[in-house]
Amino acid sequence: MAKKLAIIYGTGFGNTGIMAKAIEEGARGAGIDVIIKKVEEASPADVEKADAIAIGSPTYKGAGMPTVIKFVEGLSKTLLKGKVGAAFGSYGWSGEAAGVISRMLKSYGMDVIEPDLRIKRIPEGEGVEVCRELGKLRK
């Protein structure tokens, strides 16, 4: 089982940030070490040191946040094969971002948790609970 989880995310209005914090809670509750960073403060080294990574982005204009997509693209030379990956994000109506990230992580040979996690607008109640569950990294 994964011992260290890196959660890296972008958020415009805080909704994907709420998801990230709920994933963190779930992971800590399951005894997993967590580093959680906004994408602007994250580096490939954060990912390299982890056994599992969860990457979050809201959907804007049918795509992921450019900062997050750029970060994930920048991981192409990091050794990720075999690590556990997860993609998540809040959305309004179409929600492409998490799917895009999930595919990118798979292309790096990661063991990606499916389906990716998308929550409409503000995560509340059951939505927060589903995020906590994801943090436990059970497939």
Ligand X SMILES: Cc1cc2nc3c(=O)[nH]c(=O)nc-3n(C[C@H](O)[C@H](O)[C@H](O)COP(=O)(O)O)c2cc1C
Stretch that binds ligand X, among 13-21, 35-43, 47-55, 70-78 (CB under 6 A): 13-21
- DSSP, collapsed to helix, strand or coil, labels residue 133 as helix
Stretch that binds ligand X, among 44-52, 78-86, 93-101, 108-116 (CB under 6 A): 93-101
The beta strands (E) that lie in 51-132 are given as: 52-56, 59-60, 63-64, 84-91, 111-112, 117-120
Which of 46, 78, 95, 130 lies at the binding interface for ligand X (CB under 6 A)? 95
Structure token pair of residue 99? 């799917």
**Cβ-based nearer residue to ligand X, 83 or 118:** 118
Among residues 6, 104, 10, 125, the alpha carbon closest in space to that of 58 is found at 10
Number of neighbours of residue 71 by Cβ within 10 angstroms: 23
Q: Is 70 in the site for ligand X (CB under 6 A)?
A: no
Q: Is 121 in the site for ligand X (CB under 6 A)?
A: yes
Q: Is 94 in the site for ligand X (CB under 6 A)?
A: yes
Between CA 67 and CA 9 the distance in angstroms is 9
Q: Is 116 in the site for ligand X (CB under 6 A)?
A: no
Q: Is 59 in the site for ligand X (CB under 6 A)?
A: yes
The residue ranges that bind ligand X (CB under 6 A) are 11-16, 58-62, 90-95, 121
